[in-house]
Amino acid sequence: MNEGGCTGRVCLRCVRHHLDAVHGAVRDGRRIEFVLPAFPTKSPNPAKVLGPLPDLAEELALRFLNELCERISEVYAPGAAILICSDGRVFNDLLGVPDEDVTAYAHALDAMITRIGADRLDQFSLDDVYSGAGHEDMRTMLSAGHAPTLQELREEVRGGGAPLAMYRGITRFMLEDLSGPAWTGTRSALQRKCRDLAYRVIQRSRAWGNLVDQLFPTAVRLSIHPQPCSTDKIGILLADTPDTWLTPWHSVAVETGGRFTLMKRAEAEEAGARLVHAHGRPSHYVLEQAGTPHGPWNRACA
Ligand SMILES: [Zn+2]
């Protein structure tokens, strides 16, 4: 996040919350462990994504995370691992996403991790915490034990800065996800609903973050959201995209000019991108740039 007076390319204020965790692991010769709340479930809006299951957008992000761990191994032999703490089960009901879709997404992500050989990555979810409980009960137990009150969150957001940016970002996602043909009310009623839902999503994801911190106290905490200088999380960008809030589960992968970026599905289609299938399912888009010759050298590397 472009604020807060970073002191340089490697900012000592930015890293100070994480040095102890890294030093501790190095001192004991342990693997450096990261936790990353991410990969919840696909957006329910078909104008943004290809469907409920992970596709090349997720695969590219998983490959990037695994490579990051491999690069750490090159300078530190015990290496590193990232535990993806999927938060889909934590708030899918607020987005209107069925629990079965969350389960299918997580299973497919597991299969993808195995298929691409991303052996530094693993998944952890609410299903592992309250194993055997009903999904609604899991969310109730999580909120009861770990969530801040809505009043506390509203005060934080009123204070501006990072909490306000987070609130605005989540509200924008809610508006995009719920403004499909299924919404029959007025625009202002939808905005009110989304502002309210945004607080509840932040409340649940904060509860999940608190529980994850408690369960993995020695891990380094990553976040998919932009972070200001000197917080207890390191913001990490999962894809090469001009919109730092865009994630693989809110978009599609688009290959253009020999590189991949993320776009909303409707935007990719409006730009004339061509859908590519892989492993028997819709995978990603290819967007030929003006003046680029058509030919085998320009094929998607699916
Ligand atoms: Zn900094």
**141-179: per-residue pLDDT in tens?**
999 999 999 999 999 999 998 889 889 989 998 898 887
pLDDT digits (tens, 9 = 90+) for 207-222: 999 999 999 999 999 9
Residue-level pLDDT at 244: 77
Residue-level pLDDT at 210: 95
Residue-level pLDDT at 254: 97
Q: Does the pLDDT of residue 96 top 80, yes or no? A: yes
In angstroms, what is the span from residue 262 Cα to ligand 1's centroid? Answer: 27
Residue 76's closest CA among 30, 121, 24, 120? 30
In angstroms, what is the span from residue 15 Cα to ligand 1's centroid? Answer: 7
In angstroms, what is the span from residue 220 Cα to ligand 1's centroid? Answer: 16
Confidence of residue 239 (pLDDT cuts 50, 70, 90): confident
Task: Tell me the C-alpha to C-alpha distance, in Å, between residue 127 and each of 40, 101, 148.
Answer: 13, 14, 21
In angstroms, what is the span from residue 230 Cα to ligand 1's centroid? Answer: 6
In angstroms, what is the span from residue 9 Cα to ligand 1's centroid? Answer: 8
Q: Does the pLDDT of residue 295 top 50, yes or no? A: no
Confidence of residue 297 (pLDDT cuts 50, 70, 90): very low
- Its pTM stands at 0.89
In angstroms, what is the span from residue 2 Cα to ligand 1's centroid? Answer: 9
* List of domains in the chain: 12-148+204-239 (3.40.50), 251-302 (3.30.60.140)
In angstroms, what is the span from residue 75 Cα to ligand 1's centroid? Answer: 23
* DSSP per position, 34-74: EEE-------S-TTT-S-SS--HHHHHHHHHHHHHHHHHHH
Residue-level pLDDT at 141: 96
In angstroms, what is the span from residue 12 Cα to ligand 1's centroid? Answer: 7
In angstroms, what is the span from residue 25 Cα to ligand 1's centroid? Answer: 23
In angstroms, what is the span from residue 17 Cα to ligand 1's centroid? Answer: 11
Q: Does the pLDDT of residue 276 top 60, yes or no? A: yes
Confidence of residue 300 (pLDDT cuts 50, 70, 90): very low
In angstroms, what is the span from residue 7 Cα to ligand 1's centroid? Answer: 6
Distance CA(274)–CA(22), nearest Å, equals 44
